[in-house]
Chain A
Amino acid sequence: MAEAKSLSGVSKVLNAAWVRPFLFLVVIVVAWDLAIRLFHIPAYQIPSPGDVVAVLWSDWPELLRQSWPTTYATICGFLLSALFGIPTAMLIAGSKTVESYVYPLLVFSQSVPKIAIAPLFVVWFGFGIIPKVISAFLLGFFPVVVSAVQGFKSVDPDMVDLARAMQGSRFKVFCAVNLPHAMPAIFSGLKVSVTLAVVGAVVGEFVGSNSGIGYVMQRSIGTFDLPTMFAALVILALLGVILFWIVDRIERLVIPWHVSQRDDIIFAS
């Protein structure tokens, strides 16, 4: 009896949502460590997990201090891409004329590698926070627009007709039908956007900055301090995961009615 109980306790722990990726991560780290030992990979090529953890432990205050500018730039860039991306998508979806003028150019601008033009922002805006924010914004903007356009366009025209036949004004119909309908698509765009914004902020720090995780990476590469560089990567990954998780939580609050959230509703009711 007691054994069965403890077994079910173990399986409960195993089934918790955060345990599985964590276990998988442990497996990867172990494989990484084994590979280094087995193939005798020198430390200047790939550091061992132990070294990385040691750096994380010893340089924790410094890494934390450096991660604030990166986080700040990421969030600013992300918010800007939401702030500009959603209205842009509204215009593109709402007007064929705007779409024909703007959309192809938008796609065209996406093919321009941001890393190549990032130094320009440094020339224009100096070494402060602004180039990082712009670079985060530029990377985060496009996925929001593409998803939101798709969301706004996939409204059932009959549904819009129905609301219009009830003498709803354009604005009222938009708020009651189009906008809520587009919400799931907008949020999937925002989730992609927030992780890309992290990349954008780091790119900004690469090309011209004296603070932030990107700067730490740049500096540690210069001195072949690979454990520090890997520690910085871990911090970046954590940053991405946390921001993604926050957007995911907000999504649950905003669109609890959506198919992807239904398990929770059944559970609650």
Chain B
Amino acid sequence: MNPATRPADISQPAAHLRLVSDRAAGATPGIKLSGVSKTYRSRDGDVPSLRPLDFTINDGEFFVVVGPSGCGKSTLLKMISGLLPPTTGEVLVDGEPVTRPHGNVGIVFQNALLLPWRNILSNVMLPIDMKQLPRDKYLARAKALLKLVGLEGFEKKLPWQLSGGMQQRASICRALVHDPKIMLMDEPFGALDAMTRERMNVELMRIQRETGKTVLLITHSIPEAVFLADRVLVMTERPGAIAAIYDVPMPRPRSLETMSDPVFTELVQRIRKHFFTQGSLD
């Protein structure tokens, strides 16, 4: 192995390999989780999904969670959006405890989940209909977002007439149309082919920069996590807990060349080690 790319000695970690339990929080913490855990009740008894978690996501931060399958990542996302109450602890968004859907989030799932009976534009307008906001006011915004992701001219198409990548871009527009503070993304590019996926990563970073949203993204791909993130949270196997949080001190804007940066490769290897010692990454 090339010594340059070998992970640094643990006793003397370089800046980007240092564990950060929690960054000194700014003036307004965007999302704050304190002692949040989740246990599902089932017929065979209680199934712990998440062990108590404490961390903060700052406003405008690109925060990525990596972890093995079934470590409760999606549960985390549902609790932040208010769809699922935590068993213990409390989720704070802008200092307000989350008890029910607060609508200040946009969600993107692995599947684009566009409604097949609505055209692209009215799919993007779904949150506006649900929140009963003035349609005409947001119509221009929806069109502008579609333009931002390169879907201009596809407004009247039905979802199945678009490729997988285009559908996912439309679903990103849907997550942004009501101008939420937070974008929650659950393996958003997991269903796309590798080439589209790389392009979408670059695009997502651009969208995040242009809109300034706080992004919480969940992924299985370690390179994707490091490429996108300001900070990466590594989770353990079920029941999920925080294994480590890493800073990604690479300058923005990043391009695909960033992936050959030694900082990038070292960080990827460091994170990968977490899973190989656990022996659980699929």
Contacts and interface: CB of A to CB of B under 8 A. Distances in A.
Interface of A: 156, 158-159, 161-168, 172-173, 176-177, 180-181, 255, 257-259, 262, 265
Q: Summarize B's interface: helix, strand, loop or mixed.
A: loop
B117 A257 contact: yes
A173 B126 CA distance: 10
B129 A172 contact: yes
Nearest to B156: A269
A163 B130 contact: yes
B158 A156 contact: no
Nearest to A159: B113
Interface in B174-231: 178
17 contacts: A158-B109, A161-B107, A162-B107, A162-B109, A162-B113, A162-B126, A163-B126, A164-B101, A165-B81, A165-B83, A165-B105, A166-B103, A166-B130, A166-B131, A167-B101, A176-B126, A262-B160
Given A158-B109, A262-B160, A265-B158, A167 B130 contact: yes
Given A159-B113, A177-B115, A180-B117, A166 B178 contact: yes
Contact of A158 (B82, B111, B116): B111
A156 B103 CA distance: 20
Nearest to B159: A257
Contacts, number: 60
Contacts of B109: 158, 162
B115 to A, nearest CB: 7
Nearest to A266: B161
A259 B113 CA distance: 16
**B: contact size bracket:** 20 to 34
A177 B130 CA distance: 11
B110 to A, nearest CB: 8
B127 interface: yes
A172 B83 CA distance: 16
A181 B158 CA distance: 15
Nearest to B171: A162
Interface of B: 78, 81-83, 101-103, 105, 107, 109, 111, 113, 115-117, 126-127, 129-131, 158, 160, 178
A41 B102 CA distance: 77
A166 B101 CA distance: 7
B130 A176 contact: yes
Contacts of A165: 81-83, 101, 103, 105, 107
A167 B127 CA distance: 8
A127 B158 CA distance: 52
Contacts of B160: 259, 262
Contacts of B102: 167
Contact of A167 (B103, B107, B115, B116): B103
A156 B113 CA distance: 8
A167 B131 CA distance: 6
B60 to A, nearest CB: 21
B78 A161 contact: yes
B129 A164 contact: no
Contacts of B113: 156, 158-159, 162
A166 to B, nearest CB: 4
Given A163-B130, A168-B130, A180 B115 contact: yes
Given A165-B83, A167-B101, A255 B130 contact: no
Given A158-B111, A165-B103, A167-B102, 19 more contacts: A156-B113, A159-B113, A161-B78, A161-B107, A165-B101, A165-B105, A165-B107, A166-B127, A166-B178, A167-B130, A168-B131, A172-B130, A173-B130, A176-B115, A176-B129, A176-B130, A180-B115, A262-B160, A265-B158
